[in-house]
């Protein structure tokens, strides 16, 4: 599955994919699928922030 993340989405926000969830009961339409966005910080940014805290 490929999902396009809209610009401006922040970590912790949820994205709803209408009709992409599990099948409905008794012939009902599939439910919605919710994705929770997690954004990983590149290691270089973590090091830069750490060095800045140390005053280096």
Domain-embedded: residue 55: no
Domain-embedded: residue 42: no
pTM for the model: 0.62
Domain-embedded: residue 20: yes
pLDDT per residue over 4-30, tens digit each?
A: 999 999 999 999 999 999 998 998 999
DSSP H helical ranges for the chain:
43-54
Instruction: Report d(CA 56, CA 53) in Å as an integer.
Output: 8
Domain-embedded: residue 56: no
Instruction: Report d(CA 54, CA 39) in Å as an integer.
Output: 25
Enclosing domain of residue 22: 11-36
54's tokens: 């140390």
In the chain, the number of structural domains is: 1
Domain-embedded: residue 45: no
- Our measurement of the distance from residue 6's CA atom to the centroid of its chain's CA atoms, rounded to an integer in Å, reads 10
Instruction: Report d(CA 49, CA 51) in Å as an integer.
Output: 6
Domain-embedded: residue 54: no
Which residues face 36 on adjacent strands? 14
Say what percent of the chain tops pLDDT 90.
61
């Amino acid at each position: 599955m490929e999902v396009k993340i809209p610009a401006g989405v922040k970590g912790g926000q949820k994205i709803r994919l209408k009709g992409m969830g599990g099948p409905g009961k008794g012939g009902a339409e599939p439910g919605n699928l919710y994705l929770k966005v997690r954004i990983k910080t590149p290691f270089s940014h973590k090091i830069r922030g750490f060095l800045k805290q140390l005053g280096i």
